[in-house]
Amino acid sequence: MAELRYDGRVALITGAGGGLGREYALMFAARGASVVVNDLGGGPSGDGDGTKIADKVVAEIRAKGGKAVANYDSVEEGEKLVQTALDHFGRIDIIVNNAGIIRDRSFARISDTDWDLIHRVHVRGAFLITRAAWPHMKKQKYGRIIMTSSASGLYGNFGQANYSAAKMGLVGLCNTLSIEGTKYNIHCNTIAPIAGSRLTEDIIPEEIFKLLKAEAVAPVVLYLCHEECEENGGVFESGAGWVGQVKVQRAEGVVFATEAAKLTPENVRDSWSTVGDMSTCHYPTAAGDSTVLVVQSFENAKRDITRSTTSAEEDGFNPSLAIGQKFPSAQFSYTPNDVILYALGVGASTSQPDHLKFLFELNEDFCTLPSFAVLLGQKGMGNLFMGRIPGLRDIDITKILHGEQYLEVFKPMPTSGTLTTESQIADIVDKGSGALILTETKAYNENKELLSLSQSAIFLVGAGGFGGRKKSEKAKLTVKPPSRSPDASMKEKTSIDQAALYRLTGDANPLHIDPAFAAMGGFSKPILHGLCSFGFSCRHVLKQFADNDVTKFKAVKCRFAKPVLPGQTIQTDMWREGNRIHFQTKVAETGTVVISGAYVDLINLAPQPTVVEPAASESSLASDVLFQELGRQLSEHPDLVKKAKGIFLYIITKDGKEASQWTLDLKTAGGAVYRGQPKTGKSNVTVTIADADFVDLVSGKLSGQQAFMTGRLKVKGNVMLLQKISQLLVAKAKL
Ligand code: NAI
């Protein structure tokens, strides 16, 4: 792995004579940066000054062959610090605003000096230095700036009101600089370190103090200051070799705009738990985001008012009111760990070498299984259970069944990111015994590009008969598979803990883990999530027909027929029809169909022969194996197709009776071998031969001529073409 280097970069580290700043300076210099080591050398509360400690760090750097100069000004002399960088090194690329003091007092005892001095060093110092460097960074279109905050600011700490206020002030400064700097490639991030230093020796217990080595924070600061790092406006806590991001989150909240819920102190009190409900929340990253979300919530609420006739209708089940309701947009952040957890949840395993690309973030082909996008739809679907949708507020969630699922991906899912989802009730149809609610969720990436569309069909048992339409033109429909036996089939045993694992991807319904809860639902044990079996089958199709290439996945539709129990074997039977792969999923042990009417649409598939894998029970003919082998040979040697352009129908007999038919299509691009009559055009040659004779013919024991002459091989059509194909069969089928 290439080392992150800073050659040619000039870094100014304030308060670098000791503690954290010193570690930053040493590490920057060791990796090629020219460093300005600033420190006025005072005491921890800002008293006194001296040159010694900055000089010592400079000497240390130079002794190791690095480049550094000292600066002894207070950070309140911002311009002088930046000037030192320009005078000695000609530019300024990196600023770590690190200098700091503390003047801890309980709030009532804080003097004006305690307050002002803290603010002058921390906030005003960072402001003056950054302002002095800003025009240079803008001009060179490059800058990396660090603000130093503290857990005391982020969360509060007794006796540090002055310090907490200043440290949070730096977060605010960083937030705005990150916005203003973006277009000049100036990034600003905040670090909230945790380290044993003279500032914390009286605060942190001795044994913990020893663990919190100052050098453990430096690599995080260095990464944030590298040109490769895209991070901007982030806040990161770091200490003892740990680092984690801190974000401001905002609850979905409550809009008081309806007649039933006016904005009164009493209504605010009664909704207080929802006001603070963080189960679905947003992470606004700019003041504008927050305003947009507020306005959006109001727009939704206003529509509720205009559409509702009476509050009773709003509270009950009222499909016409519910259709078209949009849910507030939400954000979904995920990391490679989530991507890997999902892959494990749907059965990817390190026992399969070709699964490593789904399981190892450093694999050069690391990618996200396309069906991962269904998790976003599931989030949208979750709105149904919150009781917040006008017209669907009063539905009985114990009567809800996830009936069908459609998913379309427009771009391969990234391996990490923050996606925005927009969900709505697309339609509700009257199925007599129940109502079918179609929820749709669109997911967008950070550039506002549409990544996926998920449509879930939710069956609400007992809610039919409301006089609604029987069909919806918005519904994506299931499609029956062809009536022939499957072209391919894959079986995989699920783990006994499959549901326990899959639920960690977001569907924590106890039905999938708690035996008592499952029993209440009438199940002998907790069942596997329908979307887990769905994930298995999508993976099977992708492997069988697209060589695990996720860029070839376009869409999937399926109906959930029955549940799978963890530990059972999932069998996906597949049929290829052009770029559409029909599939049906069964429990192999019982033969029960669990997913029906399903298909995956793939794109950019090379024309390829269809290799037929008959179910073991279906055929006991030796010739079947030969035809399958021939299919494989054709996929490996497409040149064979060009040699004999024709369609061959083989009628295989056993005990004098027709036992099976196979088509060898060498006319269609890529060729195809499949059971049954030709699907495109007519056969040029029809061959009738006994199963055993066919084996002898292919193995070379029986010559074609001899078979023909003795009547064991009957041919209709172009015999010359057959001669070519006979040679091909003998030459290529590996018996
Ligand atoms: P430290 O006291 O070892 O280092 C701070 C350095 O800043 C000292 O060398 C001091 O001489 C220098 N300094 C103070 N006022 C200055 C001024 N006006 N101009 C130039 N230099 C000045 O403390 P430590 O722990 O390394 O702290 C570094 C930064 O990290 C500070 O901003 C502190 O508030 C912050 N921090 C530290 C935490 C910790 O656990 N050590 C926790 C949270 C924040």
What is the distance in angstroms between the CA of the first residue and the CA of the last residue of the chain? 47
CA of 453 to the centre of ligand 1 (A): 50
Report d(CA 609, CA 5) in Å as an integer.
Answer: 51
Coil vs helix vs strand at 29: helix
**Is the C-beta atom of 15 inside 6 A of ligand 1?**
yes
Rounded Cα distance, 93 and 225, in Å: 9
- Cα 247 to averaged position of ligand 1 atoms, centre (Å): 24
- The one catalytic residue in 142, 163, 342, 599 is 163
* Partners of residue 333 on adjacent β-strands: 418
Interval between CA 187 and ligand 1 midpoint (Å): 22
Ligand 1 centroid – CA 135 distance (Å): 26
Cβ–Cβ < 8 Å for 89, 113: no
List the strands of the sheet with 685-690, edge to edge. 672-675, 657-665, 647-654, 685-690, 713-717
| Spatial CA neighbour of 252 closest among 282, 215, 295 | 282
Three-class SS of 85-123: HHHHHCCCCEEEECCCCCCCECHHHCCHHHHHHHHHHHH
Q: Can you give the CATH number for the domain in which 539 is found?
A: 3.10.129.10
CB of residue 101 inside a 6 A radius of ligand 1? yes
Which range marks the domain in which residue 305 is found? 265-309
pLDDT tens digit string along 468-504? 888 888 899 999 999 888 989 999 999 999 999 999 9
Residue-wise pLDDT tens digits, 530-561: 999 999 999 999 999 999 999 999 999 999 99
Interaxial angle between packed helices 19-30 and 52-63, expressed in degrees from 0 to 180 and rounded to the nearest 10 = 30
User: Which amino acid would we find at residue 13?
Assistant: I
Cα-Cα-Cα-Cα dihedral of 597, 600, 601, 606, to 10°? Answer: -130
Ligand 1: centre distance to CA 63 (Å): 24
Examine the fold and report which residue of 214, 246, 278 is the final residue of a domain before the chain moves on.
246
What are 636's two structure tokens?
């490996």
- Cα–Cα dist 246/131, whole Å: 26
The residue whose C-alpha atom lies closest to atom 11 belonging to ligand 1 is 41
Between CA 397 and CA 377 the distance in angstroms is: 18
Read off the pLDDT of each residue in 357-363 and give the average, rounded to a whole number.
96
Summarised one tens digit per residue, pLDDT across range 59-69 is 999 999 999 99
Kindly state if the Cβ of 189 falls inside 6 Å of ligand 1. Answer: no
255: in domain? no
Any domain includes 335: no
Q: How confident is the model at residue 734 (pLDDT cuts 50, 70, 90)?
A: very low
Per the prediction, the chain carries an average pLDDT of 87
Residue nearest to atom 34 of ligand 1 (CA): 100
Q: Do 682 and 576 lie in a common domain?
A: no
98 lines ligand 1 (CB under 6 A): yes
Determine, yes or no, domain membership for 315: no
Q: How far apart are CA 190 and CA 233, in angstroms?
A: 7
pLDDT tier, 156 (very low <50, low <70, confident <90, very high otherwise)? very high
The reply to whether ligand 1 has any atom less than 6 angstroms from the CB of 345 is no
Ligand 1 near 97 CB (within 6 A): no
* Atom in ligand 1 nearest the alpha carbon of residue 120: 18
Task: Indicate whether residue 12 lines ligand 1 (CB < 6 A).
Answer: no
pLDDT band at 117; cut points 50, 70, 90 = very high
Structural domains of the chain, count:
4
704 lines ligand 1 (CB under 6 A): no
> How many residues in the chain?
735
Contact status, residue 698 vs residue 731, Cβ threshold 8 Å? no
The verdict on 693 and 596 lying in the same domain is: no
Q: Which residue has the tokens 């800003």?
A: 134
**Residue 397: pLDDT band with limits 50, 70, 90:** low
Sheet with strand 186-194: strands edge to edge: 67-71, 34-38, 10-13, 94-97, 143-148, 186-194, 235-239, 242-246
Residue among 94, 167, 98, 99 at smallest CA distance from 133: 94
CA 26 vs CA 22, 215, 295: distances in Å: 6, 10, 49
Q: 98 C-alpha to center of ligand 1: Å?
A: 6
Q: Of ligand 1's atoms, which has the minimum distance to the CA of residue 167? A: 34
Question: In the prediction, which pLDDT does 314 show?
Answer: 45
- DSSP-H helix ranges across 5-145: 19-30, 52-63, 78-89, 112-119, 125-140
Q: Which residue has the higher pLDDT, 598 or 299?
A: 598
Domain contains 105: yes
The pLDDT of residue 732 is above 80: no
Q: Which of 728, 512, 727 is nearest to 633 (CA)?
A: 728
The answer to whether the beta carbons of residues 231 and 276 sit under 8 Å apart is no
Tokens of 311: 């509050």
**Ligand 1, closest atom to CA 42?**
11
* CATH number assigned to the domain comprising residue 141: 3.40.50.720
Number of Cβ within 10 Å of residue 156's Cβ equals 11
Average the pLDDT over 620-643 and give the result: 72
| Residue partners of 265: CB distance under 8 A and separation at least 6 | none
Residue 310: exposure state from Cβ atoms within 10 A (0-12, 13-18, ≥19): exposed
Distance CA 479, CA 460 (A): 22
Tell whether 355 is covered by a domain: no
Question: How many Å lie between the centroid of ligand 1 and the Cα of residue 199?
Answer: 7
Q: Which of 197, 210, 215, when mutated, tests ligand 1's pocket best, judged by the most ligand atoms within 8 Å of its CB?
A: 197
Residues 518 and 657 in one domain: no
The structure tokens 């008081």 sit at 256
In a shared domain, residues 90 and 122: yes
pLDDT at 525 over 80: yes
Answer yes or no: is the C-beta of 40 below 6 A from any ligand 1 atom: yes
Residue 460's contacts (CB-CB under 8 Å, 6 or more residues apart) are: 317, 395, 399, 400, 434, 435, 436, 437
Backbone angles phi, psi at 126, to 5 degrees: -65, -40
CA of 97 to the centre of ligand 1 (A): 9
Q: How far is CA 130 from the centre of its chain?
A: 36
Instruction: Note the pTM of the prediction, 2 decimals.
Output: 0.51
State whether the beta carbon of 21 lies less than 6 angstroms from ligand 1. yes
Whether pLDDT at 725 is above 80: no
Q: Are 492 and 533 in contact (CB under 8 A)?
A: no
pLDDT at 727 over 80: no
Give CA–CA dist 16/20, Å, rounded: 7
Edge-to-edge strands, sheet with 417-430? 326-334, 417-430, 434-444, 450-461, 400-409, 553-560, 593-602, 580-587, 569-577, 488-493
Interval between CA 77 and ligand 1 midpoint (Å): 17
Mutational pocket test of ligand 1: of 129, 199, 210, the residue with most ligand atoms within 8 Å of the beta carbon: 199
Residue 327 within any structural domain of the chain: no
Is there a single domain that holds both residue 526 and residue 664?
A: no
**Domain containing 301 — which CATH number?**
1.10.287
Q: How confident is the model at residue 605 (pLDDT cuts 50, 70, 90)?
A: confident
Residues 523 and 656 in one domain: no
User: Are residues 59 and 172 located together in one domain of the fold?
Assistant: yes
Q: Residue 470: CB partners within 8 Å, gap ≥ 6?
A: 429, 430, 431
**For ligand 1, what atom is nearest to the CA of residue 125?**
18
Residues 146 and 229 in one domain: yes
- 160 touches ligand 1 (CB under 6 Å): no
Assess whether pLDDT exceeds 90 at residue 377. no
Residue 472 and residue 573 share a domain:
yes
Q: Are residues 215 and 269 in the same domain?
A: no
For residues 272 and 192, membership in a common domain is answered with: no
- In this structure, the residue with its CA closest to atom 1 of ligand 1 is 19
Which of 602, 634, 661 is at the close of a domain? 602
Centroid of ligand 1 to alpha carbon of 100 (angstroms): 4
Q: Kindly report each contact of residues 52-61 with a partner whose C-beta sits within 8 Å and lies 24 or more positions away, as own/partner.
A: 52/17, 53/17, 53/18, 54/16, 54/17, 56/17, 57/16, 57/17, 57/22, 57/25, 57/26, 60/26, 61/25, 61/26, 61/29, 61/35, 61/37
Nearest residue (by CA) to ligand 1, atom 37, is 193
> Is there a domain that residue 364 lies in?
no
For 87, other C-beta atoms within 10 Å of its C-beta total 12
Which protein residue's CA is at the shortest distance from atom 33 of ligand 1?
Answer: 100
CB distance 380 to ligand 1 below 6 Å: no
Residues with Cβ within 8 Å of residue 269, at least 6 apart in sequence: none
Going from the Cα of 99 to the center of ligand 1, the distance in angstroms, rounded, reads 4
Question: Is 163 noted as a catalytic residue in this protein?
Answer: yes
Residue 100 Cβ contacting ligand 1 at under 6 Å = yes
Does the CB atom of residue 52 touch ligand 1 within 6 A? no
Position 609 in a domain? no
pLDDT digits (tens, 9 = 90+) for 672-704: 788 888 877 788 888 899 988 888 888 778 877
C-beta 217 within 6 A of ligand 1: no
Residue 291 and residue 155 in one domain: no
Q: Is 128 in the pocket of ligand 1 (CB under 6 A)?
A: no
Q: What is the pLDDT of residue 45?
A: 73
Q: pLDDT confidence of 309, banded at 50, 70, 90?
A: very low
Q: Are 512 and 548 in contact (CB under 8 A)?
A: no
Probe residue for ligand 1, chosen from 13, 14, 47, 101 as the CB with the greatest number of ligand atoms within 8 Å: 101
